[in-house]
Amino acid sequence: MKLAENQNIEYKVSWRDEYLKWVCGFANASGGSIYIGVDDNKNIVGINEAEKLLVDIPNKIVNYLGIVADVNLLKEEDKEYIEIKVSPSNVPISLKGIYHFRSGATKQELKGVALQQFILKKMGRTWDDIANEAATLDDIDSNAIEYFLRKAVNAKRMSSDSLGDTIEKVLENLDLYNEYHQIKNAAILLFGKRPSKFFPCVQFKIGRFGRDNTDLLFQDIVEGNIIQMTDRVIEILKSKYLISPIYYEGLQRIEPLEIPEEALREAIFNAIIHKDYTGVHIQMKVYNDRIILWNEGKLIDNYTVETLLNDHSSHPRNKNIANVFYKAGFIEAWGRGISKIRTGFIDAKLPEPLFEEKMGGMWVSIPRNVGIKQENVGINEDDVGIIQENVGINENDVGIIQENVGINENDVGIIQENVGINDKIKFEILKKISENPSLSAKELSNLLNINDRTVERYVKQLKESGMIERIGSKKTGYWKILKELDTNYE
């Protein structure tokens, strides 16, 4: 007879004390069974001294692991074998100070961060629930608290009476300040004046890339508390990375973001809430045709991407952070984040984002709505030179248009001449040189996080349009502003 195959079953020809590691691993996971006297092909080969093992094995499990396992003697024809049934433990179990864990068909020895997370999970706690002994109330930003309270009251998830609460009271009500007057990790991340003082990787990095990963054009790093991080990320994306094509409904001027903004916000919320804050920073890579958003943090046990795409219960990695985002009205509490993102793109008649578990975290590939440029500014393969509305296309977005509508190299120049490349960045250049007329192109590049060649092109256009004039040499001269750019970008 052959035994059935199961990932929670281990087969051993004979008993060795080292197999206590497997018992430990099953107890720390979801339980399982070990069969002694069965080979790797699941054939019963039998054992000797079965009666002695029926006494020794349970005693060793109790003495070394402190748990009780169900040990049974089974028989198939004339062959005896032993079944060791291990139930899952609700507390962490170690063997001589080492914690083992059964994952799939393998046994792992837990160390470092993995061990910390395992112990917290067994205790029903999360990393953001740990008190940080080095932090005090002085490390909490009152402006961040006020921002949260306004959002929570507007969302009707907190009473307006809370607007007058002290920082200590707010943190206590959110269960972020314990009875020993210690601040939890979540409070520092959510409302800290400088969270990076305690956790170096509380960052959201945004990079604008050309054709591939090696072609980094410019980048931004968003730091600070995470309750206001999404607003700051969206603001930067709107000003430098994404397009807001213009169209009119009657006399009303409409400038929607090329990607459904609420869906984009939801994706950013998810990345911030579910990030493993013992890992690396959140990364967003903006390409001509897509955006890649990645945050470190594996899915919980028994959850797959397919689980997330269907109805599922909510199991946040950071329950305190998720609770505050919920009270602020940023998210729902029922595991609907992925669904809301998908619905946002479907309603906008756009391709859905692709969700993957990749490189130890969640990877979301968001297609950019390059077609909206063609629809709203009238670009087609036969007529690329006539653009009636200034849509603020920068030099990187030219590549998107060129890729998607078949524009040749000569036509790129026509587009650049007719759309007035990215007035938002021109305005920033004018603003910087009005503050410091002696700035060089290199210094402007550093201040604006834009490559040198791009800045030089914008400066050239401003000079040719009669807006600025260089007085003196490149090294010792200064800029004179002749007229302001007619815009409302500030």
Instruction: Give 424-477 pLDDT, tens digit per residue.
Output: 788 888 888 888 888 888 888 888 878 777 888 888 888 888 888 888 887 778
Poorest-pLDDT segment among 168-172, 182-186, 228-232, 434-438: 434-438
Whole-angstrom Cα distance, residue 76 to residue 167? 69
Range in 83-87, 272-276, 384-388, 453-457 the model is least confident about: 384-388
Residues in Cβ contact with 309 at an 8 Å cutoff, skipping those fewer than 6 apart: 338, 342, 355
At residue 377, the pLDDT reads 38
| pLDDT(359) > 80 | yes
For residue 379, is pLDDT > 70?
A: no
Q: Residue 370: pLDDT above 60? A: no
Q: Give the integer Cα–Cα distance in Å for 7 and 10.
A: 8
Residue 401 has pLDDT above 80, yes or no: no
Residue for token digits 């006494």? Answer: 55
pLDDT at 410: 41
Q: Are strands 204-209 and 282-286 parallel, antiparallel or unpaired?
A: parallel
Average pLDDT, stretch 294-307? Answer: 82
* Residue range 32-55: mean pLDDT, rounded: 92
In single-letter form, the type of residue at position 415 comes to I
Of 27-31, 286-290, 449-453, the poorest mean pLDDT is in 449-453
> Does residue 267 or residue 360 have the better pLDDT?
267
Q: What is the pLDDT of residue 398?
A: 46
pTM of this structure: 0.63
CB crowding 192-212: b at 16 or more within 10 Å, else e: beebeebeebbbbbbbbbeee
Say how far apart CA 227 and CA 316 lie, in whole Å: 16
Rounded to an integer, the average pLDDT of 7-16 is 91
* Side chain identity, residue 188: I
Assess if CATH 1.10.510.10 describes domain 423-481: no
Q: Does domain 9-121 have CATH number 3.40.50.450?
A: no
441-448 helix and 423-435 helix, angle to the nearest 10 degrees: 120
Q: Which of 50, 57, 54, 52 is nearest to 79 (CA)?
A: 50
User: What confidence score (pLDDT) does residue 60 get?
Assistant: 96
52 has pLDDT over 90: yes
Question: What pLDDT is stored for residue 228 in this prediction?
Answer: 97
Q: How far apart are alpha carbons 15 and 32 in whole angstroms?
A: 17
Task: Write down the pLDDT at residue 263.
Answer: 94
**According to the model, what pLDDT value does residue 301 have?**
67
What pLDDT does residue 6 have? 66
Supply the pLDDT for residue 417: 38
Tell me the helices (H) and strands (E) count for the chain, helix number first. Answer: 17, 18
Least confidently predicted of 39-53, 210-224, 248-262, 473-487? 473-487
Where do the structural domains in the chain lie, given as residue ranges? 9-121, 127-189, 204-367, 371-419, 423-481
Pick 374 or 40 by higher pLDDT: 40
Query: Binning pLDDT at 50, 70 and 90, where does residue 96 land?
Result: very high
Dist. CA 383–CA 381, nearest whole Å: 6
Percent of the chain past pLDDT 70, that is, above it, reads 85
Average pLDDT of 229-245?
A: 93
Percentage, residues of the chain above pLDDT 90: 52
Q: How confident is the model at residue 2 (pLDDT cuts 50, 70, 90)?
A: low
Is the per-residue pLDDT at 217 higher than 60? yes
Q: What is the pLDDT of residue 383?
A: 37
* pLDDT averaged over every residue in the chain: 83
What pLDDT score was predicted for residue 481? 85
Question: What integer pLDDT is reported at residue 361 of this predicted model?
Answer: 92
State the pLDDT at residue 34. 95
- Cβ(308)–Cβ(355) below 8 Å: yes
- 204-367 under CATH 3.40.50.1100, yes or no: no
- Closest Cα partner for 191 from 138, 241, 234, 243? 138
In this prediction, residue 226 carries a pLDDT of: 97
